[in-house]
């Protein structure tokens, strides 16, 4: 860039001037500083120390203020819902805290209560888990023949959780749990099964061939909870011994792929037996279908279970306890999320109502400082607090300013949507004029609140840029979704 000669001279003069002023200031400051220093040295030492202390305090305060204003806090990820190591004290403390805040903690508490009941029972809990029709119920029947276990040829007969008692050779009291098969159409049953598996000491994962994708995913989920697993390949009667060996090798590899460590003797091939319908020739030549039990062969499973119970690794009780604490923490996190959603709904509704009322009362509502005002600030603060975010005032201002600059483009759209929405209420007549504006403002607040909630639940912290972007991207969708609700709000206000 070529500068005009005059401008260059002017800049040179300005630089020279600044230089002179700086030198002057430096001389002045050093003179008075030295002066003060000499006098302080001559005076009592207490005065010197007090003076230094005040200077230091001023410097620290200034630095702190600058830091608060300028330096952006690092965003810490939201507290993980299922930290690996939770003690009893941790989880109980968390439940108490949440309860005090108004969260429904019944389910989390129920998990701890169930654990206490099972611990008092002093049995080892084995859960038979796996896809529908792999033979879980048949295995239990083979282990405890006197138990009345329902076995269905069609599959999927266990639609509830059932417990059976079994005393093994060494006299251990064992509780066998039969759960619904996973992978059915009803996802709820899979959840029931998975939760029950987490409450057990050991999971006997029953399959009848190579693992499906859903089975591998279930194993992965159980590994997160540090569940001891025994992989049971059932219906071995359908395979030759070579096929069995290949399959078992494959099963080991599959578990290995998802980061699990299974000892070789924790993968067993058995025949639970089960029942089948066979067509038999009667003496008189007629054919008849009869139900026959297949012979069972589950010796290796019994050995594996006994070995597992006798092994002196980390006590099973301790591992189970930790898994249930995790389960309770997950329940709590879910209840907290629900509570937040509910509360945020109230906060947004109240802010929206205020915006609508304010706009109705104003003679000519101002569009320019729409959301940067009091209502926007209090709503943002309340929602941040609800999500455990502690933003600086500057972040809130930045978020509102950024969102405000995005409102300009959305305003015509929200007016149009508001006008349309009000048409849905017949007999409105001339009321509509002011109401359209009021509804449009209400819609914008509603959209602002909802996008903020989305952003907060994603980041666990107010990130002005991300939150205002969310607002811009979601606004048209939110406008459409909220229009009837907010139009009604405005009309109720009008008729009051
Ligand atoms: N061939 C064979 N079929 C079995 C075996 N165990 C169970 N079955 C059959 O598999 C089907 C499902 O058994 P069931 O125990 O109800 O499975 P669940 O849904 O896992 O409880 C039934 O038809 C059983 O007869 C086995 O070891 N070999
Ligand atoms: Mg069953």
The protein residue with its alpha carbon nearest to ligand 1, atom 1, reads 235
Q: Provide the residue range defining the domain that includes 137.
A: 123-311
The verdict on 297 and 337 lying in the same domain is no
Q: Do the beta carbons of residue 287 and residue 271 sit within 8 Å?
A: no
Tally of CB atoms within 10 A around 361:
11
Going from the Cα of 170 to the center of ligand 2, the distance in angstroms, rounded, reads 27
Tally of CB atoms within 10 A around 303:
12
Say how far apart CA 395 and CA 401 lie, in whole Å: 10
With the most atoms of ligand 1 within 8 angstroms of its CB, the residue from 129, 132, 151, 276 to mutate is 151
pLDDT on residue 142: 92
Q: Do the beta carbons of residue 340 and residue 103 sit within 8 Å?
A: no
Q: Per-residue pLDDT tens for 178-204?
A: 998 887 777 788 888 999 999 999 999
With the most atoms of ligand 1 within 8 angstroms of its CB, the residue from 274, 275, 293, 299 to mutate is 274
Q: Is the minimum distance from the CB of 271 to ligand 1 under 6 angstroms?
A: yes
pLDDT on residue 479: 86
The verdict on 484 and 399 lying in the same domain is yes
Which DSSP string do the residues of 266-322 spell out, in sequence order? GEEE-B---EEEEEEE-TTS-EEEEEEEPPPB-HHHHHHHHHHHH--SS-HHHHHHH
* CB within 8 Å of 452: residues ≥ 6 apart: 379, 380, 383, 399, 462, 467, 470, 471
CATH number of residue 192's parent domain? 3.40.50.300
The answer to whether residue 136 sits within a structural domain is yes
The answer to whether residue 98 sits within a structural domain is no
Say how far apart CA 101 and CA 111 lie, in whole Å: 20
The verdict on 298 and 348 lying in the same domain is no
The verdict on 352 and 278 lying in the same domain is no
The verdict on 359 and 491 lying in the same domain is yes
Going from the Cα of 486 to the center of ligand 2, the distance in angstroms, rounded, reads 51
The answer to whether residue 106 sits within a structural domain is no
Q: Where are the alpha helices (DSSP H) in 152-230?
A: 187-199, 213-224
The verdict on 142 and 271 lying in the same domain is yes
Does pTM top 0.85 for this prediction?
A: no
Ranges under pLDDT 50 in the chain = 75, 77-78, 80-82, 153-156, 368, 430
* CB within 8 Å of 432: residues ≥ 6 apart: 419, 422
Question: Among the three residues 311, 343, 373, which one is the final residue of a domain in this structure?
Answer: 311
The verdict on 181 and 286 lying in the same domain is yes
The answer to whether residue 437 sits within a structural domain is yes
The answer to whether residue 92 sits within a structural domain is no
The answer to whether residue 79 sits within a structural domain is no
Say how far apart CA 482 and CA 349 lie, in whole Å: 11
Query: Which ligand has the shortest distance to the CA of 208?
Result: 1
SS3 assignment, position 230 = strand
Q: Is the minimum distance from the CB of 137 to ligand 1 under 6 angstroms?
A: yes
> Considering its fold, how many domains does the chain have in total?
3
Going from the Cα of 135 to the center of ligand 1, the distance in angstroms, rounded, reads 4
Which DSSP string do the residues of 411-452 spell out, in sequence order? HHHHHHHHHHHHHTSTT-GGGHHHHHHHHHHHHHHHHHHHHH
pLDDT on residue 381: 94
Q: Is the minimum distance from the CB of 404 to ligand 1 under 6 angstroms?
A: no
pLDDT on residue 156: 47
Q: Is the minimum distance from the CB of 114 to ligand 1 under 6 angstroms?
A: no
Q: What is the maximal distance between C-alpha atoms in the chain?
A: 131
Q: Is the minimum distance from the CB of 151 to ligand 1 under 6 angstroms?
A: yes
At residue 128, what are phi and psi to the nearest 5 degrees? Answer: -90, 120
The verdict on 348 and 420 lying in the same domain is yes
pLDDT on residue 237: 93
* CB within 8 Å of 273: residues ≥ 6 apart: 138, 141, 142, 293, 294, 295, 296, 297
**What is the torsional sign of CA 222, 224, 225, 230?**
positive
* Residue 122 burial by Cβ neighbours in a 10 Å radius (0-12, 13-18, 19+): exposed
Q: Is the minimum distance from the CB of 184 to ligand 1 under 6 angstroms?
A: no
**DSSP label at 4?**
P
The verdict on 366 and 302 lying in the same domain is no
The verdict on 297 and 350 lying in the same domain is no
Q: Is the minimum distance from the CB of 162 to ligand 1 under 6 angstroms?
A: no
- Closest ligand 1 atom, CA of 140? 15
The verdict on 150 and 196 lying in the same domain is yes
Going from the Cα of 133 to the center of ligand 1, the distance in angstroms, rounded, reads 6
With the most atoms of ligand 1 within 8 angstroms of its CB, the residue from 127, 132, 133, 135 to mutate is 135
Q: Is the minimum distance from the CB of 349 to ligand 1 under 6 angstroms?
A: no
Q: Is the minimum distance from the CB of 269 to ligand 1 under 6 angstroms?
A: no
The answer to whether residue 324 sits within a structural domain is no
Q: Is the minimum distance from the CB of 238 to ligand 1 under 6 angstroms?
A: yes
- Computed over its alpha carbons, how large is the radius of gyration of the chain? 36
The answer to whether residue 218 sits within a structural domain is yes
Say how far apart CA 348 and CA 449 lie, in whole Å: 6
Question: Both ends of the chain: CA-CA distance in Å?
Answer: 67
The verdict on 306 and 351 lying in the same domain is no
- Closest ligand 1 atom, CA of 150? 16
Half-sphere exposure of 178 (CA within 13 A, CB side): 28
């Amino acid at each position: 860039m070529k500068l005009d000669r005059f401008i260059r001279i002017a800049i040179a003069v300005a630089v020279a001037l600044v230089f002179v002023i700086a030198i002057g200031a430096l001389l002045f400051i050093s003179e008075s500083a030295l002066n003060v220093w000499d006098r302080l040295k001559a005076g009592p030492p207490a005065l010197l120390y007090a003076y230094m202390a005040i200077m230091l305090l001023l410097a620290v305060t200034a630095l702190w203020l600058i830091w608060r204003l300028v330096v952006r806090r690092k965003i810490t990820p939201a507290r993980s819902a299922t930290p690996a190591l939770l003690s009893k004290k941790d989880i109980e403390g968390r439940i108490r805290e949440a309860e005090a805040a108004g969260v429904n903690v019944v389910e989390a508490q129920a998990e701890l209560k169930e654990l206490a009941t099972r611990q008092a029972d002093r049995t080892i809990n084995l859960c038979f888990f796996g896809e529908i029709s792999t033979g879980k119920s048949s295995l239990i029947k083979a282990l405890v023949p006197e138990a009345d276990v329902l076995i269905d040829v069609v599959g999927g007969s266990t639609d509830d959780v059932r417990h059976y008692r079994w005393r093994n050779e060494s006299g251990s009291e064992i509780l066998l749990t039969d759960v619904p098969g996973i992978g059915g159409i009803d996802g709820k049953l899979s959840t029931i099964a998975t939760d029950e598996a987490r409450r057990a000491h050991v999971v006997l994962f029953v399959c009848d061939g190579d693992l499906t994708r859903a089975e591998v995913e279930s194993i992965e989920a159980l590994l997160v909870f540090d569940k001891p697993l025994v992989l049971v390949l059932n219906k071995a009667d359908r395979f030759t011994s070579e096929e069995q060996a290949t399959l078992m090798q494959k099963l080991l590899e599959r578990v290995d792929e998802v980061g699990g460590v299974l000892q070789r003797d924790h993968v067993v091939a058995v025949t639970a037996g089960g029942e089948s319908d066979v067509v038999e020739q009667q003496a008189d030549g007629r054919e008849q279908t009869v139900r026959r039990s297949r012979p069972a062969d589950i010796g290796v499973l019994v050995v594996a279970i006994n070995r597992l119970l006798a092994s002196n690794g980390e006590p099973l009780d301790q591992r189970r306890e930790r898994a249930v604490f995790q389960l309770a923490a997950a329940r709590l996190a879910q209840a907290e999320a629900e509570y937040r959603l509910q509360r945020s709904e109230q906060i947004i509704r109240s802010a929206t109502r205020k915006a609508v009322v304010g706009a109705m009362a104003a003679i000519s509502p101002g569009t320019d400082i729409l959301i940067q005002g009091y209502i926007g600030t209090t709503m943002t603060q309340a929602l941040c607090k609800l999500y455990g975010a502690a933003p600086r005032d500057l972040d809130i201002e930045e978020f509102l300013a950024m969102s405000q600059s995005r409102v300009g483009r959305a305003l015509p759209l929200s007016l149009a949507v508001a006008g349309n929405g009000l048409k849905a209420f017949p007999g409105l007549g001339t009321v509509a004029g002011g109401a359209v504006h009021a509804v449009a403002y209400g819609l914008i607040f509603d959209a602002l609140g909802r996008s903020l909630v989305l952003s907060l639940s994603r980041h666990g912290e107010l990130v002005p840029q991300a939150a205002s972007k969310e607002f811009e991207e979601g606004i048209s969708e939110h406008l459409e979704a909220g229009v009837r609700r907010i139009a009604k709000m405005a009309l109720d206000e009008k008729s009051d």
